[in-house]
Structure 1
């Protein structure tokens, strides 16, 4: 299975890590079923992630780009997160084809290099965008006026640019891992066993910088927002809405971290620590494959964040739907039209007659 490690520091490289025959000969351990498992598991899972992720994030981007009264820093971060997810899901059909062909790559060396690169640019950009989103929500709730400049739209675009440059630059070493001809098949998403010792060091740095640091930041924001909610007395409606959106953002981000990113980083580290050449740990290899699929599935869960915690997302969505489906004029049957006109005419005659009687009575009183 794909087996490369990720790094998140400018001097660190990263690659996908899945159990694969690159570390052990296909025929050295016939009891290993991990190869067969990945050929059955990955195509189905990646295809589901592709359909769900492409539709959810593509439509979310469309909604975010709809003209609206004002833009916010929260929507800027969410727009960049959705863009990262959409770019990643565009690479999944190539992975599906690779595993359906029995780990045989037919799309050339350059596209093979992009596969691993896109996987981890998406993973770690998602981690950082989710973390920054939670921090901005926390600051806007606890210190709404003191740190207003820090949550401006301009600063949001600057932070997004820094995140993109940092993640993309620190992952460029992944582009060095291309396709490899082995027998009558071309392997991709694989790693040479000679690089295994170096991967352990890179894994520790990626684990700390790419996951533990953002996860701790997210957890601290969660505890502080809970503390702020407990201290606050009955707040005004606007403040109560702000607290609820901040709490919703952080909770959804924590769920994505715990479900998608935490299992993968634990299993990846455990796999590297226990790895030995020509030894098959079938259960561990399959577990790593499942957690990698969960990590890829983060692009499917992020649209839930946009809907439940996005700034004016529901209003933008309603506006987009009304724009795409303008209301048609109501149609009436001829009899209904006639009855309506007759009723209107009778009502007008009654009003005229009533006014006439009032004027007559007034004339009598005047006499």
Structure 2
């Protein structure tokens, strides 16, 4: 029996990538390890729920952000890119669901297998960076609002988003080296070999510092400074008060996403790489890694809450999108009894 699953260093990798296989080369391990069965029951349900909520929430959010509006801001540019990242990731989830329902048998070819690992990494770390940039911009808007106007134009916001996309996508290209592999009568995917363990540990340390610890530290500093600013300064103007409130909401939601989705995964992934040994079954640790990876993937479900509660003019854009056709229908309804029927106006309205 082969040893299949090794925890993947990068948070983007699928749940199977994060865990060594539950079946090892001795009979005792086969009887005591239940990780494989747990994944086949747990992953399809969770991924399907994330897919439904994430696709609907982020797809509709993108539609709202793209609605014509009198005023656009850099905040909405960052949020739009975050929603695009989440949507691109969620559309890959049905493939993962099928993989686990089929008993870890990949049916969609080598290229699609490589994209699975790549997509999750890109989504996780682009989300981390977009959330961090959003929090910094919100914080600076409360401290140096006039100076910020010159540095966070729509053009500069798109340039910064492009830099983030290029950085994350380029740094994750190593994951494209891991494709599908034929093992017996099944084709495995999203799995890494044990001889890559030392390389994985090194990559994990880099990703942990650059991809999580640094952004989380910046986010925490923003939170402390905005609290300090709110305690020290009385803001009489309602506009500035609204700015402070939106900054606080943005940073709090971002912190919740970090603490709930990203922190447990990074901690458990690192611990799993340190503790992993061939031939040993650590059921609790393996299952814990699976659960934290599910939470990491679920970040795409929480981000629409950020758009609704902290987006610039998001609620107004949402109302406009939902009521786009209502004014015309109302005008037609009231025009029928007041205009002469011979003019043919009523028949035109009814046809609409």
Name the SS of the counterpart of 2:20 in structure 1.
coil
Shift of 1:70: 1.7
CA distance in 2: counterparts of 1:251 and 1:291, whole angstroms: 21
Separation in structure 1 between the aligned mates of residue 26 and residue 215 of structure 2, nearest angstrom = 38
Give me the whole-angstrom Cα distance separating, in 2, the residues matched to 1:247 and 1:75. Answer: 17
Match of 1:29 in 2: 29
Whole-Å Cα distance in 1 between the matches of residues 217 and 329 of structure 2? 52
Change (3 A) 1:113 1:150: same
1:19 maps to which residue? 19
Change over 3 Å in CA distance of 1:51–1:326 after alignment to 2: farther
Q: Which residue of 1 aligns with 2:164?
A: 163
1:240 equivalent to 2:244? Answer no
- Describe the SS at the equivalent of 1:194: helix
SS in 1 for 2:277: coil
Query: What do you get for the CA RMSD once the two structures are aligned?
Result: 2.0
CA distance in 2, matches of 1:281, 1:2: 12
Change (3 A) 1:282 1:324: farther
- Secondary structure in 1 aligned to 2:187? strand
- Please give the alpha-carbon distance, in whole angstroms, between the structure 1 residues aligned to 2:26 and 2:55: 35
Per-residue Cα deviation, 1:207-247 (whole angstroms, up to 9, x for no partner)? 00000000000000001111111111242100000000000
Determine the C-alpha separation between the residues in 2 that align with 1:175 and 1:27: 34
Distance in structure 2 (CA, Å) of the matches to 1:264 and 1:198: 19
For residues 102-141 of structure 1, the aligned pairs below 5 Å read: 102-141=103-142
**Which shows bigger deviation, 100-109 or 19-28?**
19-28
**More deviation, 110-119/222-231:** 222-231
- Report the TM-score when normalising by structure 2: 0.89
Residues 27, 301 of structure 1: alpha-carbon distance in 2 compared, 3 angstrom cutoff: farther
Deviations 1:238-276 (A, max 9, x none): 000000000000000000000000000000011111111
1:163-202 residue CA offsets vs partner (Å, 9 max, x unmatched)? 0000000000000000010000000011111111211111
Partner in structure 1 of residue 257 of structure 2: 256
Is the Cα contact below 8 Å between 2:178 and 2:192 reproduced in 1?
yes
Distance 2:326 2:297 in 1: 34
Provide the C-alpha distance between the structure 2 equivalents of 1:200 and 1:25, rounded to a whole number of angstroms.
Answer: 24
The answer (yes or no) to whether the contact 2:182–2:188 under 8 Å persists in 1 is yes
Decide whether the 8 Å contact of 2:58 with 2:84 is kept in 1.
yes
Q: Which residue does 1:68 correspond to in 2?
A: 69
8 Å Cα contact 1:39/1:102 also seen in 2 = yes
* Displacement after TM superposition at 1:329 (Å): 3.4
Between the aligned partners of 2:199 and 2:58, the Cα distance in structure 1 is: 36
Distance 1:112 1:149 in 2: 44
What residue in structure 2 maps to residue 43 of structure 1? 44
Tell me, in whole angstroms, the C-alpha distance in 2 between the residues paired with 1:140 and 1:88.
31
How far apart, in 1, do the equivalents of 2:40 and 2:158 lie?
Answer: 41
Q: Indicate the SS of the match to 1:81.
A: helix
Q: Distance in 2 between matches of 1:130 and 1:28?
A: 45
How big is the shift at 1:26?
A: 8.5
1:151 CA drift (Å): 1.5
Shift of the 293–26 alpha-carbon distance from structure 1 to 2, 3 Å rule, reads: farther
CA contact (8 A) 2:126 2:164 kept: yes
Q: For 1:3, which of 7, 16, 23 is the aligned residue?
A: 7
Q: Which has the larger radius of gyration?
A: 1
DSSP-derived class of the 1:186 partner: strand
Which consecutive unaligned segments of at least 5 residues does structure 1 have? 8-13, 338-367
- Secondary structure of the 1:314 match is helix
> What residue in structure 1 maps to residue 344 of structure 2?
none
Query: Which residue pairs with 1:314 in the alignment?
Result: 315
Alpha-carbon distance between aligned partners in 2 of 1:275 and 1:213, rounded to the nearest angstrom: 26
How far apart in 2 are the matches of 1:48 and 1:220?
Answer: 34
Distance of 2:283 and 2:165 partners within structure 1: 36
The equivalent of 2:206 in structure 1 is 205
Structure 2 alignment gaps of length 5 or more: 339-352
Q: CA deviation at 1:27?
A: 5.7
Q: 1:34 to 1:88 in 2, by over 3 A?
A: same
Does the 8 Å CA contact 2:9/2:273 hold for their aligned counterparts? no
